[in-house]
Amino acid sequence: MSFNLYSIRRRIVNYFIFVIHLKRHVPFALTTLRLLLGPIALGCALAGVARFVFLPILVVGTFSDIFDGILARRFGVATPTLRRYDSITDVLYYLFILGALWQLCHTVVVRNLWAVAVMLITEVAVVSIGMAKFRKYPATHSWLAKFYGLCLLVCLIALLAFDAGSWAIITLAVIALVTNSEIIAMHLMADKPPVDVRSIFSLRR
């Protein structure tokens, strides 16, 4: 009887250890899922699948971006390496989404190339300044960046799932310009890499 109780207790302890160990990998798995969704989206665009398919792809991609950081902090695995992996994944994911846009919304994209250029140039500027000053990939995760992410979700769904017009791209360009300008200013003001900084005002305190 005592042996059985000991065996059961040991199994329970091992189970909880396994669950705790598994939880630590959930944020990484969510980020990796987003990395895979980018090529899937582009593949769907090239294959000419029904547009409604992009709705779950974009929703899952955005929510994985939101919850990987939340869970990483809750499980105590919010390391600089994971944050930068998350940021690099964001860039790659949206490059594939841009490829899907080019395939499905070619006319609208061409008509608003200046707006697309604003988004791409400001993104490149953010990365370049972060690498030049701190030799690290930017990972500010500011409030504006999160708001930009939600706007990306809405506008990309409008474009890819519902074939929206120029307003979606122009809206994104304006928000990208504001968001990336703040991130650039953060890097210019900071003495160390600004990681998980809520806003530029947080650096001034």
Q: pLDDT tens digits, residue range 80-108?
A: 788 788 878 988 998 999 999 999 999 99
Number of domains composing the chain: 1
Closest alpha carbon to 155 in 91, 90, 89, 108: 108
Q: Tokens representing 163?
A: 């074939």
Length in residues, the chain: 205
Domain that holds residue 199: 2-203
CATH of the domain at 11: 1.20.120
Residue 13 CA to residue 81 CA, distance in Å, equals 30
Cβ proximity of 30 and 67 under 8 Å: yes
Residue 15 CA to residue 129 CA, distance in Å, equals 46
Residue 200 CA to residue 35 CA, distance in Å, equals 28
- pLDDT digits 0-9 by tens, 100-143: 999 999 999 999 999 999 999 999 999 899 999 988 878 787 88
Cβ proximity of 72 and 82 under 8 Å: yes
